[in-house]
Amino acid sequence: MSQFILIIILLLPIIVELKEHWSYENITIWSHDNRYCGGNLQSPIDLRFNKSHIDRRLKAMYLQKQNSHDSLQLINNGHTAQLNLKNHFVLKNVAPASEDYRVEQIHFHWGHANDDVNGSEHLLEGRSYPLEMHMVTYSSWFSNIHEAMSNTRALAVVGVFFELSFESNPFLQPIINALGRIRDNGKHVVINENFNLKALIGEKRMRRYYRYDGSLTTPPCYESVIWSVLQEPLQLSSEQLQAFQRLHGEKSVLMKNTYRTIQSIGSRKLFRSFTSENIHDDEIKKQISSSTSYGQYLSVNMKFLFVLMNLLMLIA
């Protein structure tokens, strides 16, 4: 009997190891080894404005810098390029009166060379983007991400789309420059260049996001994630995108189509933090409402008068 138990104990790490072996080549069988992957609260999903509900309690999220001198390490883990950011930032305002969420890492999902269309995990109005960045954070109630990972709402992940532009994105360049040095599975490198996550995402972009309860998008697919996907994409050049597409994964094959297919939203509700689909409409409303809330009725009246005068001049 005790020998039997000993064998089990010796085998256990191997079983766990086998379960960690998964690939984007056969996403449909993830749920065979990882039952959560077949659950009802899975990610990613298609985000549609007309199917979402406004939640006025969803405030602008922001990153607060911590005093950390830990180096930034970029790793090729066989599935993605991941930048470890432990102790560098906390994410604030995830939910009303919520605890802080500590930023653990950012990583990316993309398509393959000659595909400028597919790559993102989430879709926006049924449309995909060539790259999606995920900022993974965990609740400060837990002492580390591994402890948090399988608990309801213990993770908060922020998804950011990238669209192609003619100009390269300078804030992304420190990562791009390092990708060439982690071409192969298991490689890692310390980023010495100044990498500014706050500047990369941009403070304003963190105001407008979709929110829903979902999961990790890779095995074990734990349904523990508060998802926030920013509505407004970032930009990168096609040269920058190609740097991701050149990475090699397990068995030295190109890492490609590193995105999971869309999951059903089921009975879940999709929320959003913003009023109108059009960014500029909201900006104008915000300006007016913020000036009224400070009691500056006079300035609003002046604005109104100004607009009215302009209109009258147009008519005349």
Ligand X SMILES: *[C@@H]1O[C@H](CO)[C@@H](O)[C@H](O)[C@H]1NC(C)=O
Q: Is 117 in the site for ligand X (CB under 6 A)?
A: yes
With b for 16 or more beta-carbon neighbours within 10 A and e for fewer, the 117-132 pattern comes to: eebbbbbbeeebbbbb
Tell whether residue 24 is a contact of ligand X (CB under 6 A).
no
Q: Applying CB under 6 A, does 29 fall inside the site for ligand X?
A: yes
Does 20 bind ligand X (CB under 6 A)? Our answer is no
Phi then psi for 236, rounded to 5 degrees?
A: -150, 160
Least separation in angstroms between CB 97 and ligand X: 32
Least CB distance to ligand X at residue 256 (A):
11
36's tokens: 């959560």
The CB-nearest residue to ligand X is 23
Q: Using CB under 6 A as the criterion, what x/- string covers residues 47-66 for binding ligand X? A: --xx----------------
Could you tell me which stretch among 17-25, 101-109, 152-160, 267-275 binds ligand X (CB under 6 A)? 17-25
Give the binding range for ligand X (CB under 6 A) out of 19-27, 53-61, 102-110, 288-296: 19-27
Among the listed residues 21, 79, 188, 248, the single catalytic one is: 79
Q: What is d(CA 239, CA 245) in angstroms, rounded to the nearest whole number?
A: 10
Catalytic (active site) residue 188: no
252 lies in the binding site for ligand X (CB under 6 A): no
Q: Among residues 13, 17, 25, 312, which is the contact residue for ligand X, using CB under 6 A?
A: 25
Q: Where are the alpha helices (DSSP H) in the chain?
A: 2-19, 30-33, 145-148, 173-179, 197-201, 238-245, 279-293, 297-315
Q: What 3-state class would DSSP assign to 260?
A: coil
- Residue 155: CB minimum distance to ligand X, A: 25
Q: Is 281 in the site for ligand X (CB under 6 A)?
A: no
DSSP, residue by residue, 146-201: HHHTTSTT-EEEEEEEEEE-SS--TTTHHHHHHHGGG-STT-EEEE-S---HHHHH
125 binds ligand X (CB under 6 A): yes
Binding residues vs ligand X (CB under 6 A): 21, 23, 25-26, 29, 49-50, 115, 117-118, 125
